[in-house]
């Protein structure tokens, strides 16, 4: 069976083709970062307009690359949420139009489920159950993954997502967008101990997290500090340390609480080298194993949507003509809403 997938939930247009026997045959990504960077964040209307221009050429080139024609494709998966509604609607309507024209099922996929299953695209991947730390620009959550479609959110950020805190802090530092990779790069030259940021809620019971206090604290320090390169690197270092500490402390609690020894990190912030190293260390400490996708599958991509789509296509091949597009779509509700 072969599936084509479309990802348009934010500022990246992605298309992938996945075959259940041969694996990933094509994976294309067009990033709109250059369009949004001058605004310091994603402008939703510009994002949706650009997806319209890029999606069909990407689909055509993915089909060519994988030597596939419409005859070879058994289903089309598209990101149906959560994300920017205008952008999602572009992928959803094109997905359904192609499904109708080719007489194949259209499969709505939850973007966070895609991130969560991205490590399954790797040769060495976790078995179920596992604990997943999903850290992206819009979400920060710890999920118990019982099986595909069976997700239990154990904790989440009560305010900003970790990626959002990185992006907003980078904006205050006038570094550009997206902030995560820029802060991470600067942090490499940072001096340990010059600044220290708070780690809110780490001693609270439960697995919820908070990043807005960390962001405010960074804003205060930025406003009174010199703007030289070393000071910026030192702030970036301290900020990254605090952010990673919060995430790791809560992951450790989740592993202890559930007794599960496999931990996955996914979503854009999981591209962060400091976080990847810390999660490896945590796994070693508890006698478990850490898993994460290759860097290009940490940030938004269609390969993860194709993988999730294939799993769901195998469960149900029925065609559904209802176009699904949801700005919000909690992962815990998936089983009941996606079929």
Annotated binding site: 111, 115, 134-138, 167, 180, 272, 300
Residue 98 CA to residue 102 CA, distance in Å, equals 6
Find which of ligand KG4, Zn ion, none residue 269 binds, CB within 5 to 8 Å per kind: ligand KG4
Binding residues for Zn ion, total number by CB under 5 A: 2
Question: Which CB, 66 or 157, lies closer to ligand KG4?
Answer: 157
Would you state the structure tokens that stand for residue 226, as one six-digit string?
Answer: 């010199």
Find which of ligand KG4, Zn ion, none residue 260 binds, CB within 5 to 8 Å per kind: none
The total of other beta-carbon atoms located within 10 Å of residue 83's CB is: 27
Q: Which of residues 135-164 bind Zn ion (CB under 5 A)?
A: 136
Min. distance of Cβ 267 from ligand KG4 in angstroms? 4
Interface with Zn ion includes 300 (CB under 5 A)? Answer: yes
Binding-site residue set for Fe cation: 111, 115, 300
Min. distance of Cβ 177 from ligand KG4 in angstroms? 8
Scanning 30-38, 223-231, 274-282, 297-305 for contacts with Zn ion by CB under 5 A, the matching segment is 297-305
The total of other beta-carbon atoms located within 10 Å of residue 220's CB is: 11
Task: With beta carbons less than 8 A apart as the criterion, state whether 279 and 263 touch.
Answer: yes
* DSSP string computed for 197-218: ---TTTTSSSS-B--HHHHHHH
Which residues have C-beta within 8 Å of that of residue 336, sequence separation ≥ 6? none
Per DSSP (E only), the strands in the chain are 2-7, 12-19, 23-31, 75-81, 106-110, 130-135, 140-147, 150-156, 262-266, 289-291
Interface with Zn ion includes 12 (CB under 5 A)? Answer: no
Question: Which CB, 98 or 244, lies closer to ligand KG4?
Answer: 244
Scanning 126-134, 225-233, 283-291, 300-308 for contacts with Zn ion by CB under 5 A, the matching segment is 300-308
List interacting residues with ligand KG4 (CB under 6 A).
10, 136-138, 163, 166-167, 178-181, 184, 267-269, 271-272, 299-300
**Residue matched to tokens 């959803």:** 92
What residue ranges bind Zn ion (CB under 5 A)? 136, 300
């Amino acid at each position: 069976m072969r599936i084509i997938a479309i990802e348009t939930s934010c500022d990246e247009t992605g298309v992938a083709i996945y075959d259940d026997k041969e694996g990933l045959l094509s994976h294309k990504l067009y990033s709109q970062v250059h369009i949004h960077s001058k605004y310091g964040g994603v402008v939703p209307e510009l994002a949706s307009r650009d997806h319209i221009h890029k999606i069909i050429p990407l689909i055509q080139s993915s089909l060519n690359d994988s030597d596939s024609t419409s005859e070879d494709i058994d289903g089309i998966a598209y990101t149906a949420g959560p994300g920017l509604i205008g952008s999602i609607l572009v992928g959803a309507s094109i997905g359904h139009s192609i499904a109708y024209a080719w007489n194949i099922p259209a499969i709505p996929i939850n973007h966070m489920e895609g991130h969560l299953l991205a490590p399954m695209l790797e040769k060495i991947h976790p078995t179920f159950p596992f604990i997943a730390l999903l850290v992206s620009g819009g979400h920060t959550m710890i999920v118990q993954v019982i099986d595909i479609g069976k997700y239990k959110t154990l904790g989440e950020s009560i305010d900003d997502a970790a990626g959002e805190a990185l992006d907003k802090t980078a904006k205050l530092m006038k570094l550009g967008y997206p902030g995560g990779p820029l802060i991470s790069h600067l942090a490499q030259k940072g001096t340990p101990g010059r600044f220290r940021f708070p780690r809110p809620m780490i001693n609270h019971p439960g697995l919820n997290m908070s990043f807005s206090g960390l962001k405010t604290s960074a804003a205060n320090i930025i406003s009174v500090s010199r703007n030289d390169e070393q000071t910026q690197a030192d702030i970036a270092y301290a900020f990254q340390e605090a952010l990673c500490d919060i995430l790791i402390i809560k992951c450790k609690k989740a592993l202890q609480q559930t007794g599960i020894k496999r931990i996955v990190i996914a979503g854009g912030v999981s591209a962060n080298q400091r976080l990847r190293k810390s999660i490896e260390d945590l796994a070693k400490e508890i006698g478990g194993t850490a898993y994460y996708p290759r860097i290009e599958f940490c940030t938004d991509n269609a390969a993860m949507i194709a993988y999730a789509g294939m799993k769901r296509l195998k469960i149900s091949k029925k065609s559904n003509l209802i176009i699904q597009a949801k700005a919000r779509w909690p992962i815990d509700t998936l089983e009941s809403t996606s079929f």
